[in-house]
Structure 1
Amino acid sequence: MSSACLETPSVAVLMCTYHPGIYFSEQLISIAEQSLSPSSVWVSDDSISTDVTARISEELEGAGLTGAKIVAGPRKGFAANFLSILCHPEVEGDYFAFSDQDDIWMPDKLQVAVDQLSRVPAELPAVYCGRSLLVTDGNQELGSSPLFGRQPSFANALVQSIAGGNTMVLNNSARELLRRAGECEIVSHDWWVYLLVSGVEGIVIYDAKPTIRYRQHDGNLVGGHTSLMAHLNRVRLLLFHDRFKSWNEINVASLQKVKHLLTARNRQVLEDFVSTRSGGVLRRLRHLRKSGVYRQTLMGNFGLLIATLTGKI
């Protein structure tokens, strides 16, 4: 890992691991070969075995990331692990990049993100995120994750996460915002970042051009499938299952605890969205319209409407 010049922004790479598999070394090499070298690499490992920790250390050295630091994760799931390392008191930097354990970063991933984030005033929370190039476990291209064209906003974030955490780079103001929010029960770290940054009317930069190769395999916790069947399954999730409703319950409960951080306008959006989730049909529809919440696609908004009608929002 090369030393950063004074003019070069410092970027801390925050990787979370759990029994990393055969793709781990390829990801580490892609981090080591970034055109903008990270100033530090932190690995928060949720594995229990000391043998795993030793192997991680060997893999880091093999990739040339000799200065990387390994810490024990909280062992409460992937989302808690990412928030834990983001808020770790010893982690410092101008920017903070989340990393999964089995992707492949394109050589300019960090440079592209920092170039765009550097245009945002430092005091304004900002996150860079975007699409992923989906690949097989053998790194053969499958296509890109969905392209979302509507403006990122808190009204969208309440009902949808638009980008994977593995694409996200945060500025220090966004990191401090997450720190102020503290430990909360959340569905996923990427969704929580989107909710909080948009909730304070920070900047969400959504890049249509992928900068990571995202492996699709049985070990993925969250997939990125783009087929028509995948889209239909998402709508089916809204229409006929309680998972979407339970996700909203978790996010709303945590947002209520930190609503003092939100702008007045977004506190009202949150209040209207909460009203959408109870009472009679006409009341739910009225508050759905008043809240202005939306998903990124026509099919997604149809599912949102039906979920409201059936009380599954």
Structure 2
Amino acid sequence: MTPPITILMASYNGARYLPAQLDSFLAQDWRNWRLLVSDDGSSDDTGQILAHYAQGPARGRIEVIDGPRRGATANFLHLLTQVDPEGPVAFSDQDDVWHPGKLSRAMDWLGRQNGPAVYAARTTICDQDLRPLNPAPHFPGPFGFRNALVQACLPGNTTVANPQALALLQAGAPAAIRRDVVAHDWWVYQLMSGAGATLYRDAAQVLLYRQHPRNVMGRNDTTAARAARFAMLFDGSFAGWLTRNEAALTEAAPLLTPENRALLAQFSRLLHLPGPAALRLAREMGLYRQTRAGTLAIRLAAMTGRLRARPAH
């Protein structure tokens, strides 16, 4: 029998929007799934809602475990360490709504791959009442380690990984937890591209991405959001993230291909170089983001010394 897809959900005080997401799981045309929820100590009705679905419409398909209570990224990484390694996994936010074909679309592509493979897609950005605002940006690629080192491109709430990819993620997760990586989906992109997995970012919009005041990250398609992210390149935030990510990848370096281990060693050196030298190495390595403006911004940050390593947490 084919193992089910395990949906990994990190929950915390999500009662307001959780039923709509759970209903969208039940409406999937790919019926072979189970849900593993890691709850970070919710004080609202999240637990009662999950219990209601576990005893009723999703009987036998939901398991709830205690989360580490260190934020959403740590909670998702904790889920990776707890899931059965035999089947595929799909990451899920607690406040989105999936289209009925989300899982089947991912599994159709994954079923045609050999070796580790990860599927991701686009979302439809909505307001808190699920009124559509805009399609999420479509990145054309290419997707690879030179991009992943400096940009997160695989939205976690759309990501599905096959069992071979999951084995790599489980092997690398302890280092990511120790090094306190900033975002699980960015780390997934880095480790998977570094390990030579096949990556695909579908242009289709597979879910409604709800925006509300408590979003952990939120949309990145507005002028204000882009300006805020640009500012982080130069205020030390981005450099700190790079330092934590690099440390986690270095611990997991045996999982990477020889070529990407060499690239990681260069990147580690880049993070300690003064501006002009960092810029030269960034260009030699071919580091890039998905837009020309984004690549120029990374090079400007390197040239001004804003990518230099900060102490890891």
Q: Which amino acid aligns with 2:37?
A: V
Q: Deviations over 1:10-67 (max 9, x none)?
A: 2111111011131110000000110001332111111155964234212444543543
Cα distance between partner residues in 1 of 2:217 and 2:270:
27
Query: Do structure 1's residue 256 and structure 2's residue 250 form an aligned pair?
Result: yes
Query: Do structure 1's residue 106 and structure 2's residue 90 form an aligned pair?
Result: no
Cα distance between partner residues in 2 of 1:170 and 1:94:
9
Give the TM-score taking structure 2 as reference length.
0.91
Q: Which amino acid aligns with 1:17?
A: S
Cα distance between partner residues in 2 of 1:232 and 1:155:
23
Match of 2:203 in 1: 208
Cα distance between partner residues in 2 of 1:92 and 1:258:
18
What are the equivalent positions in structure 2 for 1:1-313 lying under 5 Å apart?
A: 6=1, 10-47=4-41, 49=43, 52-61=46-55, 63-88=57-82, 91-121=84-114, 124-183=115-174, 184=176, 185-238=180-233, 240-313=234-307
Cα distance between partner residues in 2 of 1:54 and 1:117:
34
Cα distance between partner residues in 1 of 2:265 and 2:145:
12
Q: 1:97·1:168 contact (CA, 8 Å) conserved in 2?
A: yes
Cα distance between partner residues in 2 of 1:202 and 1:54:
39
Moved over 3 A (4+): 48-52, 59-66
60-69 or 10-19, which deviates more: 60-69
SS in 2 for 1:132: strand
Deviation of 1:114 after TM superposition, in Å, equals 0.4
Q: 2:118·2:165 contact (CA, 8 Å) conserved in 1?
A: yes
Cα distance between partner residues in 2 of 1:168 and 1:76:
22
Q: 2:126·2:210 contact (CA, 8 Å) conserved in 1?
A: yes
Q: Which amino acid aligns with 2:303?
A: L
How many residues in Structure 1 have an aligned counterpart in Structure 2? 303
Distance 1:143 1:253, change over 3 A: same
Cα distance between partner residues in 2 of 1:221 and 1:51:
20
195-204 or 93-102, which deviates more: 93-102
Q: 1:131·1:211 contact (CA, 8 Å) conserved in 2?
A: yes
Identical-residue share of aligned pairs (%): 36
Give the TM-score taking structure 1 as reference length.
0.91
Q: 2:15·2:44 contact (CA, 8 Å) conserved in 1?
A: no
Distance 1:65 1:105, change over 3 A: farther
Distance 1:252 1:258, change over 3 A: same
Q: Which amino acid aligns with 1:110?
A: L
Gap runs ≥5 in structure 2: 308-313
